[in-house]
Amino acid sequence: MRQVSGDQLGDFAAIYDEDVELISVTRPQAGACEAVSERLISSRQAPELRWMQTAGDRDASANALPGTLDTEARSVLVDQIAEAGEVLSELMDCETIGIRLLTLASPMCPRFHVDHVPCRLLITLSGAGTEWICNSDVDWDVFANLDTMAPPVKASGEIRQMATGNWSLLKGGAWNDGFKGIVHRSPHGSGERLLLSLDPVVS
């Protein structure tokens, strides 16, 4: 399996290549999103929210966000959610997107795991990015052992980290029967982070 790095939204089409497990795309608005996100975290306004909406529905995003957010923060977050939702909707041919916006002061998922979804779009708006392991580097015996917190990585493998601000699309455990899903976890470093994740809601 291979990973694709790019700077164009069209790069996400490679998710349908059988040998691609993850696509990470840099976005020009990443710096503005990080600045706003850090301000939200420091002011304790950053929310912990989950909702579903029609892809690209800016009003739904705006209504889901706390009323205490200032105009700039609301605009930046709504734009990010709407654009990412539209991309995921087009890729997966679905109308509805599940959205989570979470402030994390400690690892939400400290153990390496697989999400049992077809795919998930992860965007670390601020703070350290999600850690992950290539499928070819995973020690599946260690992964299956629930009595250990040891990283399930082969001696010749490595733990990688998604870049802050990048849009990273991961194949999940429900992508197809021939792929086990991207093995990943929340980073174990110190510091708070603001994480945006989007799931396609498929029937």
Pairing of strands 96-104, 193-201: antiparallel
The answer for 70, left when phi > 0, alpha when psi is -120 to 50, beta otherwise, is: beta
Give the model's pLDDT for residue 132: 97
In whole angstroms, give the CA distance from residue 3 to residue 15: 10
Q: What is the DSSP string of 139-190?
A: -HHHHH-TT--S--B-TT---EEPPTT-EEEEE-TTS-TT----EEE---SS
Q: What is the pLDDT of residues 83-133, one digit of tens each?
A: 999 999 999 999 999 999 988 875 556 789 999 999 999 999 999 999 999
Residue ranges in the chain modelled with pLDDT below 50: none
Q: What is the extent of the structural domain holding 112?
A: 2-201
Looking at residue 5, its pLDDT comes to 96
pLDDT of residue 9: 95
- Give the pLDDT score at 50: 93
Q: How many structural domains are present in the chain?
A: 1
Kindly report the CATH number assigned to the domain that includes residue 22: 2.60.120
Spatial distance between the Cα atoms of 126 and 90, rounded to a whole number of angstroms: 26
Predicted structure pTM score: 0.93
User: Position of tokens 């290539």?
Assistant: 134
